[in-house]
Amino acid sequence: MRIAITWREEHHPNEQWASRYSGNFNAAIKFLEDSQVQREADEKAKEEAHKRELEQAKALAKAEKDRAEIQRKSAKRNKVFAVFLFALACLAGVMAYQANVAKKMAKNALSEAKMVEAELYVDRNEPHNAMALLEKAYNENKEYDDLVKRNLTIADTQPLPEFQETIVKDPNSLILQNGRGAVFNSKNTQMAAVRR
């Protein structure tokens, strides 16, 4: 089509020229002009379509940029939130540790008070009460070994009261108890019990 239009612009054909060939000059020129108009319309439509595609691409790029910005801000917000949660978890861990230390200190202070109370029993010549108190205190705070050490010291150094009454009426049942925290004399008439 372009060749035909270029040829027409260079040679300026007319009806006389067309009569040498087919003689239908007006129809040929009309066809050529209509084709040129159609071609220009097609090119314009192509240009507009290309322009629309370009605008759509720009709009899509802008939307992608906006979405990326939103995601960046969201990621930053999430990062700040994660740091805050981490700091909060660290603070909770420190507080829990401090609470455990304070609890242990309180238990040890209570055990120390029980040891002082046990000393009062020893001073009043009641070592059995002191030992019972220390045993109970140790059962409440097994990490405080001084309670056991003091209890053993009292048992080794203090005279404990003796019990001379018969608790078990049938001496044959004493044999069944042998080895279960009880020590018997050779006649199985007296017993010493070991408390745990």
In this prediction the pTM is: 0.46
Same domain? For 97 and 175 the reply is no
Same domain? For 69 and 166 the reply is no
Same domain? For 95 and 148 the reply is yes
For residue 150, the model assigns a pLDDT of 87
Same domain? For 50 and 102 the reply is yes
| Least confident piece of the model among 10-14, 90-94, 142-146 | 10-14
Same domain? For 148 and 186 the reply is no
| Selection from 11, 60, 8, 54 nearest residue 30 by Cα | 8
| Tens digit of each residue's pLDDT (9 = 90 or more) over 116-131 | 999 999 999 888 888 8
C-beta of residue 120 within 8 angstroms of C-beta of residue 150: no
Same domain? For 80 and 62 the reply is yes
Same domain? For 175 and 95 the reply is no
Same domain? For 83 and 10 the reply is yes
Q: CA-to-CA distance for 22 and 14, rounded, in angstroms?
A: 12
Name the residue with tokens 């720009």: 58
| Tens digit of each residue's pLDDT (9 = 90 or more) over 166-195 | 555 555 544 444 444 455 566 655 555 554
Q: CA-to-CA distance for 128 and 118, rounded, in angstroms?
A: 10
Residue 170 sits in which domain range? 162-196
**What confidence tier does 35 reach under pLDDT thresholds 50, 70, 90?**
confident
Same domain? For 16 and 73 the reply is yes
Same domain? For 169 and 145 the reply is no
Same domain? For 136 and 182 the reply is no
Top pLDDT among 55 and 150 is at: 55
Question: Is the model's pLDDT at 158 over the cut of 90?
Answer: no
Number of domains present in the structure of the chain? 2
C-beta of residue 118 within 8 angstroms of C-beta of residue 154: yes
Full DSSP string of 46-66: HHHHHHHHHHHHHHHHHHHHH
Same domain? For 140 and 184 the reply is no
Burial of 188 (0-12, 13-18, 19+ CB in 10 A): middle
Within 8 A by CB and 6+ apart from 110, the residues are 137, 140, 141
Top pLDDT among 42 and 18 is at: 42
